Amino acid sequence: MIFDEIYTLNNGMTIPKLGFGTWFIDDHAVVQAVREAVKIGYRHIDTAQAYGNERGVGEGIRTCGLKRDDIFVTTKLAAEIKNYSDAVRAIDESMSKMDIDYIDMMLIHCPQPWGNYRQDKRSYDMGNLEAWRALEDAVKAGKLRCIGVSNFEQPDIDHLLSGCSIKPVVHQLLAHVGNVPHELIAYSERKGMLVEAYSPVAHGKILNHPIVAEMAAKYGVTVAQICIRYILQLGLLPLPKTGNPLHMKENADVHFVIADADMDVLNRLEKFTDYGEFSIFPVFSGK
């Protein structure tokens, strides 16, 4: 089963190969969503300070019936935090909101504040190093077990690596059929990071894509299952999000193999250019 499969991170820790995303699940609803996900078999829960649901995620984890050590929990440092003292405070606030003894992994959510996304790119280099130093100190204090990044580009990675003492274990990126940053993924992997793919179903925008729908019918699966399986076959870690227990089960039922020829078809799909309300996120031109 996919729930029994793991990746090994560059620090020797293991992480479940399939995660459960909680973006856009509100703080009240996420409590039961986490319980349902754990009941189905998920052992990897992903949240963020920006999602506004850390408290509910923590409650779901504490009341799901499993021991804390049985669940891998990720959260993300808010993109706007670019100094040491604010990062230290935010880490403690995440732990307090979730009411758990430690967090398995925390990521810098973005190299720039969302209001300045992909602008003034180098203006935040020192701020990212300050935030990273706070994450490193939290690892040394036992508050965090590992740390990583999200939405970074190659220069952001290079600058962070030039000044860090603990290397990032994960790089979380937008990646899905029709928008896979292959070059950035390869670069991240060369630097020792596992790449996680958030929104592997393209924020839901791919569900009616005729080519992907036809392929899903060919394999007797849903479009979402094709998309998640595609991400797994690229060697990435998918983080599908849903509050629906039926969809949670379907998203984990990916024990089929997409043929090489069909993977090539998916790799060559025209790039997505418009996510509607989600258009803040990047469309990569990588091959």
Active site residues: 51
What is the sign, positive or negative, of the torsion defined by CA atoms of 2, 241, 160, 152?
positive
Residues in a beta bridge with 216: none
Nearest to 32 by CA among 3, 18, 53: 53
Contacts of 120 (CB under 8 A, 6+ apart): 112
By C-alpha distance, which of 284, 270, 263, 79 is closest to 173?
284
Label residue 268 exposed, middle or buried (CB < 10 Å: 0-12, 13-18, 19+).
Answer: exposed
Q: What is the Cα–Cα distance from 200 to 217, expressed in whole angstroms?
A: 19
What are the strands, taking DSSP E only, across the chain? 6-8, 14-16, 20-21, 44-46, 72-77, 103-108, 144-150, 170-174, 194-198, 237-239
Burial 161-183 (b: 16+ CB within 10 A, else e): eeebebebbbbbbbbbbbbbbee
Q: Return the number of other C-beta atoms located less than 10 Å from residue 68's C-beta.
A: 13
